[in-house]
Chain A
Amino acid sequence: MGRYFVRRLLETIPLMLIISIFVFMFIHLLPGDPAKTLAGVEATVEEVEAIREEWGLNDPLIVQYGNYMKDLLRGDMGRSLKSSTPVTELILSRFQYTIQLVLAGVLWAPALGIFIGVMCAIKRGKAFDLGGMLFAIAGLSAPGFWVGLMLIQVFAVTLGWLPSGGLDSWKSLILPSVVMGLGIMATLARYSRSSMLETLREDYVRTARAKGQKESVVMFSHAFKNSLIQVVTILGLQIGGLLSGSVITETIFSIPGMGRLLVDSIAYRDYPAIQGLLMIFSLQYVLINLLVDLLYGVINPKIRYD
Chain B
Amino acid sequence: MSQEVLLKVKDLRTEFFTSKTSSVTAVANISFDIYKGEILGLVGESGCGKSVTSLSIMQLLKDTPGKITNGEVVLDGVDLITASDAQIRDIRGGKMSMIFQEPMSSLNPSMRIDKQMIEGICLHTDMSKEQAREHAAEMLKKVGIPDPQRVLKNYPHQLSGGMSQRVMIAMAMSNDPQLLIADEPTTALDVTIQAQILDLMKKIQKEEQSSILLITHDLGVVAEMCSRVIVMYAGKIVEEAPVGILFNNPTHPYTQGLIASVPKLGSGVKVLPSIPGSVPDLSSMPEGCRFAPRCKYATEKCRTQEPPLAVVGENQKCRCWLKIEE
| B203 sits at the interface (CB 8 A) | no
- Closest B residue to A212 by beta carbon equals B93
The reply to whether A214 and B89 contact each other, CB–CB distance below 8 Å, is: yes
Q: Least Cβ distance of A284 to chain B in Å? A: 29
B110 CB contact (under 8 Å) in A200, A205, A207, A225: A225
Cα distance, A215 to B63, chains bound together (Å): 12
Q: Least Cβ distance of A211 to chain B in Å? A: 4
The reply to whether B60 and A210 contact each other, CB–CB distance below 8 Å, is: yes
Cα distance, A214 to B62, chains bound together (Å): 13
| B293 sits at the interface (CB 8 A) | no
Contact digits for A217-232, partner B, Cβ 8 Å, 1 yes 0 no: 0000110011000000
Q: Which residues of A contact B111 (CB under 8 A)?
A: 221-222
The reply to whether A208 and B92 contact each other, CB–CB distance below 8 Å, is: no
Q: Which residues of B contact A301 (CB under 8 A)?
A: 109-110, 155, 157
- Closest A residue to B168 by beta carbon equals A207
- Closest A residue to B94 by beta carbon equals A212
Cα distance, A226 to B91, chains bound together (Å): 27
Q: Least Cβ distance of B176 to chain A in Å? A: 14
A206 CB contact (under 8 Å) in B90, B100, B109, B120: B100
B92 CB contact (under 8 Å) in A200, A201, A209, A302: A209
| A155 sits at the interface (CB 8 A) | no
Q: Which residues of A contact B100 (CB under 8 A)?
A: 203, 206-207
Q: Which residues of B contact A214 (CB under 8 A)?
A: 89
| B72 sits at the interface (CB 8 A) | no
Count, chain A residues at interface, CB 8 A? 25
Q: Which residues of B contact A213 (CB under 8 A)?
A: 89, 93, 119-120, 123
| B171 sits at the interface (CB 8 A) | yes
Q: Which residues of A contact B33 (CB under 8 A)?
A: none
- Closest A residue to B108 by beta carbon equals A204
Cα distance, A300 to B156, chains bound together (Å): 11
Contact digits for A155-176, partner B, Cβ 8 Å, 1 yes 0 no: 0000000000000000000000
User: Which residues of B (169-183) have their CB < 8 Å from a CB of A?
Assistant: 171-172
Contact digits for B119-148, partner A, Cβ 8 Å, 1 yes 0 no: 110011000000000000000000000000
Cα distance, A209 to B88, chains bound together (Å): 10
The reply to whether B119 and A211 contact each other, CB–CB distance below 8 Å, is: yes
The reply to whether B109 and A203 contact each other, CB–CB distance below 8 Å, is: no
Q: Least Cβ distance of A199 to chain B in Å? A: 10
| B82 sits at the interface (CB 8 A) | no
The reply to whether B93 and A226 contact each other, CB–CB distance below 8 Å, is: no
The reply to whether A208 and B97 contact each other, CB–CB distance below 8 Å, is: no
The reply to whether B105 and A202 contact each other, CB–CB distance below 8 Å, is: yes
| A26 sits at the interface (CB 8 A) | no
Q: Which residues of A contact B106 (CB under 8 A)?
A: 203-204, 206-207
Cα distance, A202 to B109, chains bound together (Å): 11
User: Which residues of A (49-84) have their CB < 8 Å from a CB of B?
Assistant: none
A203 CB contact (under 8 Å) in B85, B88, B91, B105: B105
Cα distance, A203 to B101, chains bound together (Å): 9
The reply to whether A211 and B171 contact each other, CB–CB distance below 8 Å, is: yes
Q: Least Cβ distance of A300 to chain B in Å? A: 6
The reply to whether B98 and A210 contact each other, CB–CB distance below 8 Å, is: yes
Q: Least Cβ distance of B183 to chain A in Å? A: 10
Central interface residue in A203, A205, A226, by most chain B CB within 10 Å: A203
Q: Which residues of B contact A207 (CB under 8 A)?
A: 100, 106-108, 168, 171
- Closest A residue to B112 by beta carbon equals A301
Central interface residue in A205, A206, A207, A302, by most chain B CB within 10 Å: A207
Q: Which residues of A contact B155 (CB under 8 A)?
A: 301-302, 305
| B residues neighboring A (CB under 8 Å) | 58, 60, 62-63, 85, 88-94, 97-98, 100, 102, 105-111, 119-120, 123-124, 155, 157-158, 168, 171-172
The 9 tightest CB contacts between A and B, nearest first, are A212-B93, A211-B93, A211-B120, A212-B92, A203-B105, A204-B108, A301-B155, A203-B106, A212-B89
Please list 24 pairs of residues, one from A and one from B, whose beta carbons are closer than 8 Å in the complex, sorted by A's number. Answer: A201-B63, A203-B105, A204-B106, A204-B107, A206-B60, A207-B100, A207-B171, A209-B60, A210-B58, A211-B97, A212-B88, A212-B93, A212-B120, A212-B123, A213-B89, A213-B123, A221-B111, A222-B111, A225-B110, A226-B109, A301-B110, A301-B157, A302-B157, A305-B157
| A residues neighboring B (CB under 8 Å) | 200-215, 221-222, 225-226, 299-302, 305
Other A-B pairs, 12, CB within 8 Å; known A204-B105, A207-B171, A212-B91 = A200-B63, A201-B63, A204-B106, A207-B100, A207-B108, A210-B98, A211-B92, A222-B108, A225-B110, A299-B110, A301-B109, A302-B157
